[in-house]
A = this chain, B = another copy of it.
Amino acid sequence: MEKDLAIAIDLGGTNTKVALATRSGKIVWKTDFATASFPDPEQWIRKSMGEVKKAPLLKKGDYRFVGLGLGAPNANYYSGVIAHAPNLPFEKGEIPIRVLLEKITGLDCKITNDANASALGEKLFGGAKAMNDFFSITLGTGLGSGIFVQGKILYGSDGMAGEMGHTNLVPDGRLCNCGKKGCLETYVSASGLMKTYLEFSEPKRTAHSALQVYELAVEGHSPAKKAFQITAELLGKQLADMAALFSPEAIFLSGGLTKSGSLLYDATLKAFNSHAMKHHKNKIAIRASELPGQDAALLGAAALVWEE
């Protein structure tokens, strides 16, 4: 076994996942606990480290912690702060989580948001190993995006760049959690798909999740098929604009909505090629992430430790 280990933490509103990962991206141990039970950040860190200490493989003693990587909503790589994350139990405002982590663990700690962590994971351990310019897009409840430019995550001047989910799609459209109207993620996400479906569905065929809409679409239910078609077209169109700006080598999709497979990918790729600039038509692959779904966020957090 490799003796160098990264501590990887994926902080979510519901669960906190904690893992140990090797330099080659293998998760050798992991566990999780309910985030809500630890509303104080320092208490939450001590709980996480307490879990780590229980890992059986550490009993052999032949290991070294190289650093700690944390993926969390609204986490800022530059400032080390989690700012105003609405779904976390911590007090509102700015939490200097990196400083707290370093104080308590004594390790080098890095943080970034979930979407950037996924992109880092794709670069170090997934399908983007040989790429310098690509997108990693997570279609979950919202739409998260991590953008690689010339071999590095795009953070911008303030650490907040890469928010494709909050570019405008529909003027005066659906109200977004960010306070703006018509953001891409209010249409292109699991919750966006649901809203679009409900606009077309008959009262008798209500769906309560994106998965149910998918099952209805597979059965041939026409409003469900239409909702997928519209969602994919909007995604493909917006990705064409993103390609005009970034000229990526490839676009990786992940998250719950991608379980719908070709129902999503085929229509997205068709719309992308129809809206792309001439030199991008049929040149840019839209692919599934090569990270294992349930560990993608943890691998991304581990990648924070292993990237140069």
Pair B279/A168 contact, Cβ less than 8 Å: no
Query: A158-193: which residues lie under 8 A (CB-CB) from chain B?
Result: 158-164, 166-168, 178-180
Query: A44-88: which residues lie under 8 A (CB-CB) from chain B?
Result: 83
- State whether A241 and B167 are in contact (beta carbons under 8 Å apart), knowing that A161-B246, A247-B157 are contacts in the complex: yes
A256 CB, nearest partner CB in chain B, Å: 23
Q: How many copies does the complex hold?
A: 2
Identify the closest chain B residue to A158 (Cβ).
B247
- State whether A166 and B279 are in contact (beta carbons under 8 Å apart), knowing that A152-B150, A157-B249 are contacts in the complex: no
CA–CA, A163 and B283, complex, Å: 17
B residues near A161, Cβ cutoff 8 Å: 133, 244-247
A147 contacts chain B at the CB level, 8 A cutoff: yes
CA–CA, A83 and B277, complex, Å: 14
Pair A167/B245 contact, Cβ less than 8 Å: yes
Please give 9 more A-B residue pairs, beta carbons under 8 A apart, in addition to A83-B279, A133-B161, A158-B283.
A131-B157, A149-B150, A150-B150, A150-B152, A157-B249, A162-B245, A163-B245, A166-B244, A242-B245
CA–CA, A221 and B249, complex, Å: 49
B residues near A160, Cβ cutoff 8 Å: 247, 277, 279-280
Pair B157/A277 contact, Cβ less than 8 Å: no
B residues near A152, Cβ cutoff 8 Å: 150
